[in-house]
Amino acid sequence: MDVLSKLDPDGRRKLEELGDARVDEFVAAAARLCEPDAIFVCTDAPEDIARIRTMAAESGEERKLALDGHTIHFDGPRDQARDKANTRYLVPEGMELGRSLGAVEREEGLAEIKGFLKGAMRGKTMIVRFMCLGPTGSEFAIPCLQVTDSWYVAHSESQLYRAGYEEFRRRKGEGQIFRFLHSAGELEGGVSKNVEARRIYIDIADEVVYSVNDQYGGNSIGLKKLALRLAIRKAAREGWLAEHMFIMGVKGPEGRVTYLTGAYPSACGKTSTAMLPGESIIGDDIAFLRKKGGLLRAVNTESGIFGIIRDVNSDDDPLIWDVLTRPGEVIFSNVLLVGGDTPRWLNDGRDVPASGTNFAGEWSSDMKGPEGKPVDCAHRNARYTIKLSDLANCDPRLDDPEGVPVGGVIYGGRDSDTNVPVLESFDWPHGVVTMGASLESETTAATLGKVGVRTQSPMANLDFLAIPLGEYIAKHLEIVAGLTTAPRIFASNYFQKVPSGEYLTGMADKRVWVKWMELRIHGDCEAIETPLGLIPKYDDLARLFKDVLGADYARADYEEQFAIRVPENLAKLERAEALYREEPTTPPELFEIIAAQRERLDAARKAHGDRISPFVFVKG
Ligand code: SPV
Ligand code: MN
């Protein structure tokens, strides 16, 4: 039987117009395997996109909320974050992908996941979507075909990505595409029932990703972290970078705008940095970086935000707050539903409601967990899904097909005791090695598992790596070859703590750190050389705290925050070195840079002790 007979004439015409055999074949194979009742082909036409929105609510995967355009979706209780253990690469026999990248033998894995996908769309509609990673009509763009039976996933992609049907049509079957097949599997109460059979398999040979028995965005939305994995491989082949990075514009003197990208592990301040008041945002999660005209240029692969909603409040996040509290297209996921039509979340700056419904069922404020602790009203990884263009601070160059020039790259982690709040590298390789490759962070609720455990998180991209780690670092070292100006590299740390557990720096202080970086990129202020890199001068920060925050910045605070903690940094270097010694592909340069940093720290320790005041390094 011709499976495409399930297509109505309109759907058939939509596929024919593309003239892309790969699309026809993928859709036919998916239909044969998953046995949907119907197939809906979505083009870029507003009525097609509207149908997805309507069906998301009609199918019960989303529910309408009080404000016009707002909906809520729940993922199942065991499907609240990325499932790293069940996300694997399908690797053909004889191929070595690299240590700890989670591989499954290809044929075996395909048989397993196809077994789970068999008949998975019975009684459902298969949705066929054409999207584009990166701006359309751009050298950065990668057309993507998403097949799913989840109206919620399809709706999320409307919010998060550029429509790509016209991009496919323009390309007439030429060039590379990524393909994704997703099924939420059997649903119970609107959520995936068979989570123990959740699998996310990435077929690197065919650039196809299969995902089954899940709905949580990080597991289900093909274009997000699943595409990032394919993109990392493509980038490595073609000489560009695919990174877990935000892109923001920082305003400098006289109307100057300088673009920064930043890599932070999930739930470590990436979105809040990209969203800083007074600056502009291009993206908060994934960037592609290419060399063009002597500069490194970046685009956001996305056009929306799948952001963590916990802690979003009207004072700290006025711009997101505005979008979340006025009518407009917003999907809330895994928040607390109050009175059947109002979303609430953890630490939203309001009184905690008495009761409501959350991902686990009915909730009330007097509920106690196993250890007698109060039960959170919503999941810590609850999210909002919005379009960037709905934000008042959306940068006008979001869709620039040329990308924006990258002035600086920031690496930041959740680090309570080692690094200073802001630090500039001596040069590109020093930054790549000691800031990016050595990045560490304490785990968060964005992935399943224990939180608060210090883990190595190279470039905040380790979760998504699809090539051996050493090779990946080598690609970073190489990327600046031939550039007229390499971006500066900075490290930031918002999470220094005093022994009693309080944070040493304020939430708003990051506004100052980015202004300092902006000035440094243009050579507009000096810095102090320490064994770790370059730190700000006290006077410059005091002036910036006054200008940006209207606040006084005490010398004592500076001295505490910017003290060089020698033993902690030596221990971190040792952990980094141990990690890379295990990686056969590590470039030797990495070890040289680590050795030099260790020597500088040892010498400073001999002269000044374990914890060294920043004033010690001021010359003259
Ligand atoms: C992250 O966890 O890094 C996210 C959300 O940005 S997702 O990858 O989609 O789970
Ligand atoms: Mn992310």
Q: Give counts: helices (H), strands (E), the chain.
A: 17, 35
* Number of residues that this document lists for the chain: 620
Atom of ligand 1 nearest to the CA of 81: 10
Query: Whose alpha carbon is nearest atom 7 of ligand 1?
Result: 218
Q: At what angle do helices 469-478 and 588-608 cross, to 10 degrees?
A: 80
pLDDT tens-digit readout, 218-227:
999 999 999 9
**Is this structure's pTM higher than 0.85?**
yes
Ligand 1: which residues within 6 Å by Cβ?
82, 217-218, 224-225, 266, 285, 306, 446
What does the alpha-carbon distance between residue 241 and residue 585 come to, in Å, rounded to a whole number?
A: 18
Q: Measuring CA to CA, which residue among 595, 441, 619 is closest to residue 530?
A: 619
Helix, strand, coil tally for the chain in percent (to 5) = 35, 25, 40
Percent residues over pLDDT 90 in the chain: 90
At a CB cut-off of 8 Å and minimum separation 6, what does 471 contact?
98, 236, 585
Q: What is the phi-psi region of residue 153: left when phi exceeds 0, alpha when psi lies from -120 to 50, beta otherwise?
A: alpha
At a CB cut-off of 8 Å and minimum separation 6, what does 581 contact?
none
Calculate how far, in angstroms, residue 446's C-alpha sits from the geometric centre of ligand 1.
7
Predicted pLDDT of residue 96: 80
Strand (E) or helix (H) holding 243: strand 241-243
Determine the average pLDDT of the residues in 403-432. Answer: 96
Calculate how far, in angstroms, residue 221's C-alpha sits from the geometric centre of ligand 1.
10
How many CA atoms, within 13 angstroms, populate the side-chain half-sphere of residue 618?
10
Confidence of residue 98 (pLDDT cuts 50, 70, 90): confident
Q: Which residues pair with 40 in a beta bridge?
A: 127
Calculate how far, in angstroms, residue 203's C-alpha sits from the geometric centre of ligand 1.
20
Calculate how far, in angstroms, residue 433's C-alpha sits from the geometric centre of ligand 2.
21
Q: At what angle do helices 469-478 and 566-581 cross, to 10 degrees?
A: 110
Residue in 268, 377, 394, 525 annotated catalytic: 268
Q: Which structure tokens are listed for 239?
A: 């000489």
What does the alpha-carbon distance between residue 501 and residue 347 come to, in Å, rounded to a whole number?
A: 19
Q: Is 268 known to be catalytic? A: yes
Predicted pLDDT of residue 2: 65
What does the alpha-carbon distance between residue 167 and residue 395 come to, in Å, rounded to a whole number?
A: 23
Q: Measuring CA to CA, which residue among 379, 382, 216, 386 is closest to residue 284?
A: 386
Determine the average pLDDT of the residues in 168-184. Answer: 97
Atom of ligand 1 nearest to the CA of 217: 9
pLDDT tens-digit readout, 19-43:
999 999 999 999 999 999 999 999 9
Query: Whose alpha carbon is nearest atom 9 of ligand 1?
Result: 218
> Ligand 1 pocket check: which of 79, 80, 82, 447 to mutate, most ligand atoms within 8 Å of Cβ?
82
Determine the average pLDDT of the residues in 544-560. Answer: 98
pLDDT tens-digit readout, 44-53:
999 999 999 9
In single-letter form, the type of residue at position 410 comes to I
Determine the average pLDDT of the residues in 283-307. Answer: 97
What does the alpha-carbon distance between residue 8 and residue 3 come to, in Å, rounded to a whole number?
A: 11
Query: Whose alpha carbon is nearest atom 5 of ligand 1?
Result: 218
Calculate how far, in angstroms, residue 613's C-alpha sits from the geometric centre of ligand 1.
37
Q: Which ligand is nearest to the CA of 287?
A: 2
pLDDT tens-digit readout, 113-168:
999 999 999 999 999 999 999 999 999 999 999 999 999 999 999 999 999 999 99
What does the alpha-carbon distance between residue 147 and residue 154 come to, in Å, rounded to a whole number?
A: 9
Residue spans of beta strands (DSSP E) within 162-303:
162-163, 178-183, 187-188, 191-192, 199-203, 208-212, 241-243, 245-251, 257-263, 280-283, 287-292, 295-300
Query: Whose alpha carbon is nearest atom 3 of ligand 1?
Result: 266
What does the alpha-carbon distance between residue 128 and residue 115 come to, in Å, rounded to a whole number?
A: 21
| Greatest Cα-to-Cα distance within the chain, rounded to the nearest angstrom | 84
What are φ and ψ of residue 474, in 5° steps?
-60, -40
Predicted pLDDT of residue 100: 72
Atom of ligand 1 nearest to the CA of 224: 9
CB-based burial label for 114 (10 Å; 0-12, 13-18, 19+)? middle
